[in-house]
A and B are shown apart, each in its own frame.
Chain A
Amino acid sequence: MSHKTSLACAGAFAAAATLAGISPAVCHTVVGNRVFPATLEIDDPGVNDELALPSFAYVANPDNSTQFDYRFEWQKTITADLSFFVGSALTHLVNAMKPDGTFGGVTGWQNVETQLKYVPYQNAEHEFIIAAALSAEWGHTGNASVGAEPFTALTAKGFVGKGFGDVEADWLKPIAVTGEVDYTWSTHPITVGFDPEEGITIDRSPTVLTYGATLQYSLLYMNSFVHEVPEFFRQLIPDIEIAVSTPVSNIGPSIPNMVPGTHETTGTWGPGLYYIGRLGPISFELGAVAAIPINHASGRHVGALAILDLFFDDMFPDSLGKPLFGPRQARGANVY
């Protein structure tokens, strides 16, 4: 693969990855009286025991291919503030360029991702939490035909969440915001190869800064603490989400007419809706978010993300749903 071609593919897949959200890791978090749902464009700021099976992404890639991702993610608490995560995705590309140069359908696994996440501070009374994580997307564990890289990519992540239940105005109390900043770099930023037709080739894996946020209005919170709402609506959390990626170094030269450009910022935003409920012994979250491209390089038209998340802490409180070591996190707010 030539420099230009490989960069084009990398850019397309980077855009697709952006459309699928900053991080595939999802979980829900409880801090005091605040429930932060497992959001789709970015991860929420806490740790918990849960299984996302599946999360789904539909993306219209800028290279005219259409992408469907079916992802599984399992997060397990090691202690009340430390969790381990493993996940991957089965990708199906329609109208994608195959290895033989023809166009058609391609199916394969993305690289396996693992993550350690730690919550160093949370304040239940003020519904405030911060967290940090280090994740690795392991090279050679997925299929190159769907864009899985042969090299490992490491990501340092920072998270923050704040609920406004401690403000005076009642109409502000259901509001919460979350944010995430990621810094991703490859273990092999520059790869030199040889192509019989083009001679020496140089492939670059750019270092990428990714950032995103959600603005949530929790009808769940409103019903419990501000004003009762009708039964169905009390289990909903509508929000607006955005996630954006910018290459920051090891980018290489600009290539004319390449979409997305090597230096281009890509991202999506859109409204989302999360429903949290229980079906017999199964505790779950069902959510969906529209993924509206912020520019042409981010996609041809609106995509969609969706998730079914199972809450193991509620379903299996004495086995899979509790930390391996130590007690659960005491998250109750002291309102007295």
Chain B
Amino acid sequence: MQRFMKILLAAALAAPLPAPPAFAHAFLDHAVPGVGTTVSGPVREIRISFTQGIVAAFSHIHVVSAAGAKIPVGKAATADPQTLVVRLGRALGPGSYSVTWQVVSVDTHTTQGTFTFTVS
């Protein structure tokens, strides 16, 4: 048992800790503003990094305030092959916002999701 635990520990330590999750689907890896977080100061863009490369032409991000008002956004663009960015039509003031994203990964799978953040 002790030997097995040593092997398991070695395998765990050998694992690539900072590596992204591996799927044939683009899932959200991290976002700015962060998923479920509270940020201070005005927010002027939404930046979402995914676990796979994405195609900007078939991907988009929508932002809605807590009151349901749609926030105007610019055209989605890629900051790098795995990061989608949209400029907001106006800086977001204090309040809660909902971000809905839909992306097509480079292997043609479509994924989508929603998260919220708060501007203090």
Residue positions of A touching B, CB distance < 8 A: 30, 33, 35, 58, 170, 220, 223-228, 231-232, 234-235, 275-279, 282-286, 288, 304, 306, 308, 311, 313-314, 317, 321, 328, 330-336
Contacts and interface: CB of A to CB of B under 8 A. Distances in A.
Contacts of A317: 24, 107
A304 B4 contact: yes
Given A235-B21, A311-B24, A33 B16 contact: no
Interface of B: 1, 4, 8, 11-12, 15-25, 27-31, 34-37, 100, 102, 107, 109-115
Contacts of B16: 277-279
A199 to B, nearest CB: 43
Given A277-B19, A279-B19, A306-B8, A321 B24 contact: yes
Contacts of B21: 220, 234-235, 276-278
B8 to A, nearest CB: 6
Contact of B36 (A226, A275, A277, A306): A226
Given A227-B37, A228-B36, A278 B15 contact: no
Contacts of A311: 22-24
Instruction: Identify which of B21, B23, B28, B113 gathers the most chain A CB atoms within 10 Å of its CB.
Output: B21
B interface secondary structure, majority: loop
B35 A336 contact: no
A7 to B, nearest CB: 29
Nearest to B27: A224
B30 A228 contact: yes
Contacts of B22: 276-278, 282-285, 311, 314
B4 A333 contact: no
A284 B28 CA distance: 18
B23 A35 contact: yes
Given A235-B21, A288-B8, A331-B25, A58 B1 contact: yes
